[in-house]
Amino acid sequence: MLRSFIPTAPDSHFPIQNLPYGAYQTEYGDIHLCSAIGDFVIDLFVLDEEGLFDGPLLKDQFVFQDSSLNYFLSLGQAAWTEARETLQALLHKDNPRLRDDDLLHSRVFKGREEVEMVLPCDIGDYTDFYSSEQHARNVGSMFRDPENALMPNWKYLPVGYHGRSSSIVLSGTELHRPKGQILPDNSESPVFKASERIDFELEMGFITGTGNKLGERIPVNEAESHIFGLALLNDWSARDIQKWEYKPLGPFLAKNWATSISPWIVTLDALKPFRVEAPEQSPAPLEYLAQTNPTTFDIQLEVYLKTSKMNEPERICTTNYRHLYWTIAQQLAHHTVNGCNMRPGDLCGSGTISGNEKGTFGSLLELAWNGTDPIRLHSGESRSFLEDGDELILTGSAQGDGYRIGFGEVKGKILPAIS
Nearest to 273 by CA among 242, 306, 249, 298: 298
Nearest to 192 by CA among 152, 238, 156, 142: 238
Residue/partner pairs of 89-95 with CB below 8 Å, 24 or more apart = 90/47, 90/52, 91/4, 91/5, 91/6, 91/16, 91/19, 91/37, 91/42, 92/2, 92/3, 92/4, 92/5, 92/16, 93/3, 93/4, 93/5, 95/5
d(CA 394, CA 327): 21
Q: Which residues of 160-186 are buried (b: 16+ CB within 10 A; e: fewer)?
A: bbebbbeebbbbeeebebbbbebeeee
Largest Cα separation within the chain, whole Å, is 73
Nearest to 118 by CA among 163, 175, 169, 74: 169
d(CA 148, CA 140): 7
Residues 353, 204 contacting (CB under 8 angstroms)? yes
Residues labelled as active-site residues: 135
| 189: amino acid identity, one letter | S
